[in-house]
A and B are shown apart, each in its own frame.
Chain A
Amino acid sequence: MEYLFKTAYNDDIRFLAKTGEKVRVAIVLVLLLAAPLVLQDYYLAELGLLFVYAIAGIGLMILTGHTGQVSFGHAAFLGIGAYTHSVLLSYGVPFTASIIITLLFSGLIGMALGRSASKMHGFYLAIATLAFGILIETVFGEWASLTGGHMGFAVPSLQVFGIPLTKVWQQYLVDLLLALLVVWGAANLFRSPTGRSFLAVRDSELSARCLGVNVEWVKIQAFGVSAAITGLAGALLAHHLTYLAPDVFGVLESLKLMLMIVVGGLGTILGAIFGAIIISVLPVALSFFKDMLPSSIGQTAGIEPLLFGLIIVFVIVFEPGGLYGRWMKIRFFFETFPYYRKSSFVRQKSYLKTERMR
C-alpha cells in the first residue's frame, strides 16, 4: 500500500501522483504508439475509430457526466463536425484550418443550444436535445445543395500540411494525437475554475449561484465545449466513414453515445474512454462469435442493439458507477490488499433534502 506524502500545493494539481498510475499510463502510451508496427490494418483502423469515439464520449461526458445536462441529440454535433469539415475540405481549405473552423462552428452551435436549454431541467432538457438532434439530421437530409442530401457526400482524403496521409497507420496517428490532446485538455479543465464550476452546477445549482457561479453562462459554456469536442470527433469520423449520409447521425447514434458514457461511468474522463472501448470492441467480438452460434440466432438482425440494451440494463442494476466504478474497486482491492472488504465502497445515504429550490 502506497501512501502519498504531499509536500507542496503542486502535488494536488499533478495528474499522476502514484507510481502505479505513472507506470500504467506509460505502458498504455508505448503500446498505442507501437500498435502500427504490430497490428493488421483492419484492427488498426478499428483502434483509430475507438479514439474518435473516445473524443466524442469525452465531449458528451463533459456535458452530461460533469455538468449534469443530459443530451439525447449529441450525434447532431458529430454530424455538424463531419459535414463542416468535409465541406470545407472540398472547397480546398487546408486540414488544420478546417479543423479549427469546425471546432469553433460546432462550439457556437452548441452555445446557441445551451442558451435556449439553460433554463430547462430533466425531461424537458432531454426532449429539447432530442428534438435538436432530429432537426439537425433533417437539415443534413434536406440541404442537398451543400450536404448532398440523402445521396451522400464524399469526404476528401486526409491531407495534413499538404502531405497526403492515406495509409491506415498515418490516419491512426492523427486520431491518437488528437485524442491525447482532448484527454489532456479535458483533464486540465477539471483542475481549473471552469471545470469546477461545471461540477458545481451539476451538484447544486443553488449554492453554485450563491458562490458567484453564473449558472446560465456555465451551462452555455459546457454546451459549447462539449459541442466543440464532439464536432472534432465528427471531423475525424468523416475520414473513417469516407462517405457521409444524414442517417448516420440520427437518434440511434445519439443513444450510442449516451450508452457509452453510462456504461463507462458518468462523471469521469476515463469512463468515456472505457465506454468507447466497449462500443468498439463489442461489434468486433460479436461478429467473431456470430459464426460460432447456430445460424438461427447468429444471423438474426438486431442482435447488436439487443446486446447494447442488455448491457446498459445490467450496468445500471449492478454497477451504477459503470466500468470506471468497477475499475476503481479492482484498483483499490490491490492497493489495499489484504484489507479490502465488500463494504469498502458502500456510500453513505445522502441526507434528506427538503425545501429544495430550483
Chain B
Amino acid sequence: MNTPQRLSVRNLSIEFGGVHAVEDVSFDVEPGETFAIIGPNGAGKSTIFNLISRLYEPTAGSIHYGQQNLLGLPAHEIVQVGIGRTFQNIELFEQATVLQNLLVGRHAHMQKNPFSNFLFLPSVRKSEIEHRRRVEDIIDLLEIAQYRDERISDLPYGARKNVELARALCAEPTMLLLDEPASGLNNEETDDISFWLEDIKHDIGVTLVMVEHDMNLVGLVADRVMAINNGQLLAIGTPDEVRDNPEVQRAYLGVAE
C-alpha cells in the first residue's frame, strides 16, 4: 500500500479500571490531509494514538485504514500497513548512533535472517547499502547530516526530536502519527518543525495526524482539528471553527459561574 488511505475510527472506547479514557469517539482522517487532535491534559489524545498503534486494546469500536482492519493486527505489523509514529517523550534508541536508529526505522522493509546476517553474505551487504541510501535521503530532507554518527545520548533535545521524526519517515509511512512534535522546542525550532511538516506533506505525500498543544502550529499546518475532553469528542472542524466552539472554550478555560 503506497498511497495514503482513509483512517476511519468508529465508536472507539477504552477503559482503564473503570476510567473511561476514550469514550465512543468516531472520526475520519482523509488521505493527504493534516489532522490535529487537541484537548487539555489527560483528555485522551495520546491514548487514541496508542490505540491506533495497537499498543492498547480497545474495549469497543473499530479502526480501519483503507480496507484494513487494524484491530486484527499485532502492534509490530501496523507500520507495514503504512502507519508510522513518534512519541511524546522521545523514544529513541539511546545507546545507538543516529544512523543505527534510522536503519531500525527501515526494519519493516528488511530481510532479517540471523544466519545470513551472522555470515554477512554479499546479499546482506547489498541490501544494507540500498537501505543506507534511502536513509540518506531522509537525512538530507531533515538536515541532520552533522549528527549522523553521534550517539543519541550525546544529542541535544531539539536534535532528538528531528531524529525521531526522521526515523518514523524512514519506514516510508503513508500516515504519520506525531505526538506533540513541538513540545519542548523553542519558537525558532517550532517554526522549523512547521516548515518541515509542510515539506514532508508535499514531498512525500503522507497524511499527518498530530496531537499538539501549540495552537499557533495547529493553526498554521492543520486542515482540520478535533477537540476532545475527558475522553469525549467535543468538536471537529477547521481550526477557526474549533477555536470558536463554546464547548471547546469551556473545556480549556472553565465555566464562568
Residues of A within 8 A of B (CB): 9-10, 12-13, 185-186, 188-189, 191-197, 199-200, 202-204, 206-215, 221, 224-225, 267, 347-348, 350-357
A68 to chain B, nearest CB (A): 10
Given contacts A192-B120, A350-B94, contact A356 B89 (CB under 8 A): yes
Task: Assess the A210–B108 pair: CB atoms within 8 A.
Answer: no
Q: A267-B95, A355-B46 in contact; A211/B129 too (CB < 8 A)?
A: no
Q: Considering only CB atoms, which chain A residue lies closest to B112 in the complex?
A: A193
Among candidates B80, B93, B132, residue contacting A9 with C-beta atoms closer than 8 Å: B132
Complex-state Cα separation, A355 to B111, whole angstroms: 33
B7 to chain A, nearest CB (A): 16
Partner of B117 from the list A9, A192, A347, A352 (CB cut-off 8 Å) is: A192
Assess whether B103 is interfacial by the CB under 8 Å rule.
yes
Q: Could you tell me which residues of chain B, from 88 to 129, have a CB within 8 Å of some CB in chain A?
A: 88-96, 99-100, 103-105, 107-108, 110-114, 117-120, 124-125, 128-129
Query: Contact between B108 and A211 (Cβ–Cβ < 8 Å)?
Result: yes
Kindly provide the distance from the CB of A291 to the nearest chain B CB, expressed in whole angstroms: 44
Question: Could you tell me if A213 and B107 are in contact, using CB atoms closer than 8 angstroms?
Answer: yes
Interface contact B128-A192, CB-CB below 8 Å: yes
Contact A210 B75 (CB under 8 A): yes
B171 touches A189 (CB 8 A): no
Q: Bound state CA distance, A205 and B154, in angstroms?
A: 21
CA distance A199 to B94 in the complex (A): 10
Seen from chain B, the residues whose Cβ lies within 8 Å of a Cβ on chain A are 46, 50, 53, 55, 74-80, 84-85, 87-96, 99-100, 103-105, 107-108, 110-114, 117-120, 124-125, 128-129, 132-133, 136, 153-157, 160, 167, 171
The 8 closest A-B CB pairs, nearest first, are: A212-B108, A203-B93, A207-B91, A188-B120, A192-B117, A212-B79, A193-B110, A194-B117
Report B-chain residues with C-beta under 8 Å of the C-beta of A357: 50, 55
Distance of A202 Cα from B152 Cα, bound (Å): 14
23 A-B contacts (beta carbon < 8 Å): A9-B132, A9-B133, A13-B125, A188-B118, A188-B119, A189-B114, A193-B103, A194-B113, A195-B117, A196-B100, A199-B95, A203-B92, A204-B91, A207-B92, A207-B93, A210-B53, A210-B78, A211-B79, A211-B107, A213-B104, A267-B95, A347-B153, A355-B46
Main secondary structure, interface of A, reads helix
**Nearest neighbor of A68 in chain B, beta-carbon distance:** B95
Which A residues touch B94, using CB under 8 A? Answer: 203-204, 350
Q: Please name all residues of chain B whose beta carbon is closer than 8 Å to the beta carbon of A192 when the two chains form the complex.
A: 117, 120, 124, 128
Question: Within the complex, what minimum Cβ distance (angstroms) separates A183 from chain B?
Answer: 12
Would you call B120 and A211 a contact (CB within 8 A)?
no
**CB-CB nearest in chain A for B90:** A351
B residues in contact with A212, CB < 8 Å:
76-77, 79-80, 107-108, 171
| Chain B nearest CB, measured from A350 CB (Å) | 6
Given A12-B99, A13-B125, A212-B76, A204-B93 contact (CB < 8 Å): yes
